Amino acid sequence: MKKLFITIIVLLLLSLLVGTSSAAGFQAVDQVGQQEIVAFKLNRDAVNMSLDEYLVKMDMSIEEFYSLPGFATPNIESKPDCKSQSMQSKSTQYTMLSSGPEEVQAWVVCDDDMKSWYEELVGHSVTWDDVFMWAWNILEGGDDPFWPEFEIEYTMGAGHYTSWISTNSGNIYQLFDEGRSNHPKPGDCDVGVYMTGQVTGDYLGLSEQGGDDFIIRVRDTGIMPLANLWQHEASHNFGAPDHNPGWFDFCIMSYTWAFYVRSWCGSCHSTIYSNRFHFG
Ligand SMILES: [Zn+2]
Ligand SMILES: [Zn+2]
């Protein structure tokens, strides 16, 4: 018991150290392209287990599980589930809601593999507009927790999205670079969001810690809901670090819990809060 206690303390101290060094690596947005790139790797342990097995591993009851802070992810799956409103009307609505510095204009770039994955999911061909609608849906699901916590609202305005014929490398670092150089964020957008339908090994996403872009993969993400993945990578732009594996961190930045929770731990919350005008 004492040994376990000491182990926990050591782990906590270690995670504190890791957190501190990552926070120190946080840089201002004007140094575009020079930020540390952080990767989200699939937690095979979690993905290959059923929820029941996972709870046993975590020594947690289902009641405790459901009372986790921010538990609100009845998985959107990797399935396109488009809202009926049009992109235009939604973005107009948000423009009226908030035109302050907390409104983050996204530049959304979807690759051809995302389109073919969408077609595979629905069993018929789709248009690029359908793909953009799906992307917007992911963004809207992903940014939900940012508003009540930080009054940050992401928008995908008219003309702020494009298609991308990506090289079939299966390498997410390469794809991130390719997307950014072939389809750079225009001047009137704050953040570049790249989406790929390629299977990229164990990597689900990359983000610039303290930067202004990130990439997510929309295919075969296991139990990782796309909205959670989006939220995780977007949080890096505001300086929140990874908790890897983050066994005791009920935080979207934890490699262990990002699948299930939509909230941030106290430390990540205050990091994002103090950087909430990052794009302002
Ligand atoms: Zn991460
Ligand atoms: Zn955290």
pLDDT of residue 162: 97
Q: How far apart are the first and last CA of the chain?
A: 49
Tens-place pLDDT, residues 6-54: 555 544 444 444 333 333 233 333 333 456 778 777 665 555 556 677 6
pLDDT tens digits, residue range 190-231? 999 999 999 998 899 999 999 999 999 998 887 788 889 999
- The pLDDT-based confidence of 134 (bands split at 50, 70, 90) is confident
Q: Which residues surround ligand 2, an ion (CB under 5 A)?
A: 251, 253, 265, 268
pLDDT at 279: 92
In the reported structure, the alpha carbon of residue 17 is separated from the centroid of ligand 2 by a whole-number distance in angstroms of: 13
| Ligand lying nearest the CA atom of residue 216 | 1
pLDDT at 106: 97
Ligand closest in space to the Cα of 249: 2
Mean pLDDT for 57-63 is 71
Phi, psi at residue 74, to the nearest 5°?
A: -70, 100
Please tell me the predicted confidence (pLDDT) of residue 133: 86
Q: How far is CA 227 from CA 36, 59, 99, 186, in A?
A: 23, 26, 24, 24
**Which residue did the predictor score with more confidence, 129 or 45?**
129
Q: Which domains does the chain have, with CATH numbers?
A: 2-274 (3.40.390.10)
On the question of pLDDT at 72 being above 50, the answer is no
The mean predicted confidence, pLDDT, of the chain is 77
* Residues 267, 243 contacting (CB under 8 angstroms): no
How far does residue 199's CA lie from ligand 2's centre (Å)?
27
Per residue in 220-257, pLDDT (tens digit) is: 887 788 889 999 999 999 999 999 888 888 899 999 88
Ligand nearest to the CA of 15: 2
Ligand nearest to the CA of 235: 1
- The pLDDT assigned to 42 comes to 65
Q: How far apart are the CA of 243 and the centre of ligand 2, in A?
A: 6
**Nearest ligand, CA 204:** 1
Ligand 2 centroid distance, CA of 64 (Å): 19
**Among 241, 246, 247, 248, CA closest to 269:** 241
pLDDT of residue 266 exceeding 90, the answer is yes
Gap from CA of 30 to ligand 1 centroid (Å): 21
CA of 90 from ligand 2 middle (Å) equals 30
pLDDT at 238: 97
- Going from the Cα of 275 to the center of ligand 1, the distance in angstroms, rounded, reads 17
pTM exceeding the 0.85 threshold for the entire prediction: no
- Compute, in angstroms, the gap from residue 262 CA to the centroid of ligand 1: 14
Please state the three-class secondary structure of 94-141 as a single string: HHHHCCCCCEEEEEEEEEHHHHHHHHHHHCCCCCHHHHHHHHHHHHHH
CA of 234 to the centre of ligand 1 (A): 9
Question: Distance between CA 227 and CA 233 in Å, rounded?
Answer: 10
Name the least confident of 86-95, 99-108, 266-275. Answer: 86-95
